[in-house]
Amino acid sequence: MLSDELLVESYYKAIELDLEVEFITLLLAEIHKRQLPVYI
């Protein structure tokens, strides 16, 4: 399991690298599940 910090960093990096939308959505779903703050 990823730490909260690593999960959020991975999310931002995935956006930066323009990775698959499905992957970004999966990361974001886990971020919301953990109720972590995300700034777009």
The pLDDT tens digits along the chain (40 residues) read 899 999 999 999 999 999 999 999 999 999 999 999 988 6
Prediction pTM value: 0.88
Only one residue has tokens 């777009």, namely: 40
Give the integer Cα–Cα distance in Å for 4 and 27. 11
Report helix angle 4-16 to 21-33, nearest 10.
150
- pLDDT at 16 (0 to 100): 97
Q: Domain-by-domain residue ranges, the chain?
A: 4-33
Match domain 4-33 to its CATH number in 1.10.3470, 3.40.1350, 1.10.10, 1.10.287. 1.10.287
